[in-house]
Amino acid sequence: MDINITDPQIVLGTMDFGTRVGPDEAFAILDSFVGGGGVWLDTANCYSFWADSSGVGGASERVIGAWLRSRPGARDAVRIATKVRQNPLVPHSWPQSAEGLSAPAVRIGVEGSLGRLGVDHVDLLWAHAEDRTVPLEETVGVFGELVTKGTALRVGAANHAAWRVERARSLAQEQGVEPWTALQLRHSLVQPRPLTPLAESGHRLLADEDLDFAQSEGLTMWSYSSLMWGSYVRADKPLPQTYDHPGTTRVLSVLDDVASELAATRNQVVLAWLMCQGIDPIVGVSRVEQIEEALAARRVRLDEEHLARFVEAR
């Protein structure tokens, strides 16, 4: 199946590789993803310090690096996105020792990522979260410097307020460097109860204004927690308490109806719904059959009537 890289597509989330997902299974997932026409891999230098006995990140990038070395030509078949900002500088000390977004911290973080991945550049470098202890001008400058050097081909911002991204883009223009051209935020079909905080520290929800901003400025938008950690399809993984409200019940009822009409799974309809909005959903998996299911979502076609039913259900 030929995939146009400019169209919304499935991104393989590799957060658990090397910790909860062993190297053999990770290699099989990566092989299946590429064999099915997948392109983008999403990782971070901090993945997954909370699940690693070492207390620091790097396991995911090391697994991807080992896979690349064992598969001649694989680097040409994939695009790699990684992130800097959250890796603990002191094992088991987060957020107290989390790396920031100063110029030295970003340079050191990226150098470590390249070494673990075994590559000379990444295709997209994310600022994983805001760091308001560092002047935005400094962060913008070092990200632009890495693009100029060819260390990163593009740069983007994850978990950032839209106004901060816009300010950063203005600063990049003033400095004559590459601006952030991609956004990554948490988003899925179900939405939490309004005005209730998320339990997950550091997560930032995609709001209507974020999508409007991205579309008006021509920015790429990625979503994480796209499938709510399996909660759409697994009874043993209920949605978090903040999602327990009448709108969720109505949306899930429509989801079941649409999935039945299209002979698709709940997960596939959710992914298709995200891609209909021009969003690239990140999908974290632990088994080959899960990535096969996700890639099949590219063949699910939602029409305007389906989309309207979801809007009405909210």
Q: What's the pLDDT tens digit per position in 229-278?
A: 999 999 999 999 999 999 999 999 999 999 999 999 999 999 999 999 99
Q: pLDDT for 129-181, tens place per residue?
A: 999 999 999 999 999 999 999 999 999 999 999 999 999 999 999 999 999 99
In terms of residue numbers, what domain contains 79? 11-237+278-299
Q: What is the pLDDT of residue 6?
A: 60
H or E element, residue 310: helix 304-313
The share of the chain scoring above pLDDT 70, in percent, equals 98
Find out whether 12 and 60 touch, Cβ atoms under 8 Å: no
The CATH number of whichever domain residue 107 belongs to comes to 3.20.20.100
More confidently predicted of 292 and 201: 292
Number of domain units in the chain: 1
Q: What is the pLDDT of residue 2?
A: 38
Of residues 200, 211, 204, 218, the one with CA closest to residue 161? 204
Is residue 3 domain-resident?
no
Residue whose pair of structure tokens reads 């929800």 in the numeric block: 205
Q: How far apart are CA 65 and CA 117, in angstroms?
A: 4
Whether 73 shows a pLDDT value over 70: the answer reads yes
Q: Across the chain, what does the average pLDDT equal?
A: 96
SS3 102: coil
Is residue 260 domain-resident?
no
Q: What is the pLDDT of residue 254?
A: 98
Find out whether 129 and 157 touch, Cβ atoms under 8 Å: no
Is residue 84 domain-resident?
yes
Query: Tokens standing for 198?
Result: 């998320």
Is residue 76 domain-resident?
yes
Is residue 61 domain-resident?
yes
Look up residue 229 and give its DSSP letter. Answer: G
Look up residue 205 and give its DSSP letter. Answer: B
pTM: 0.95
Whether 4 shows a pLDDT value over 50: the answer reads no
Q: What is the pLDDT of residue 201?
A: 81
Q: What is the pLDDT of residue 50?
A: 97
Q: How far apart are CA 56 and CA 71, in angstroms?
A: 27
HSE (side-chain half, CA atoms, 13 Å) at 43: 30
Is residue 208 domain-resident?
yes
Q: How far apart are CA 232 and CA 235, in angstroms?
A: 8
Is residue 26 domain-resident?
yes
- Give the gyration radius of the chain's Cα atoms: 19
Is residue 115 domain-resident?
yes
Whether 107 shows a pLDDT value over 90: the answer reads yes
